[in-house]
Amino acid sequence: MIGVAAPSLFTDGTERVVNYSKEFKEEAPFEFILGEGKLVVEEGEDLPVEVILKGKELPEQVYLISENGKFLMKKTGKNSFPEL
């Protein structure tokens, strides 16, 4: 009955045994959702980015990492990080 209710219980464990040399990282207890916005900008313009977090446990800080550096996003709500 467990196999019917939660088949990943068996398949995930089997994959780890078969691929014993592969590194398996623990999944984060949250996910990033990008807010809708302008996806095309002129060269040199700022690209506004909004990140909304969803999950059981949410991080206190979120960083935006680009070729220009690492930027701390400002938290405006429990799970909202708009960056202009």
The pTM score is 0.58
List, in sequence order, every residue forming a beta bridge with 80; answer none if it has no partner: 52
| For the chain, domain boundaries | 26-83
- pLDDT the model gives residue 13: 65
- Per-residue pLDDT, averaged over 13-18, amounts to 72
Q: Which residues contact 67 (CB under 8 A, 6 or more apart)?
A: none
Indicate whether 84 pLDDT > 80: no
Q: Are 53 and 62 in contact (CB under 8 A)?
A: yes
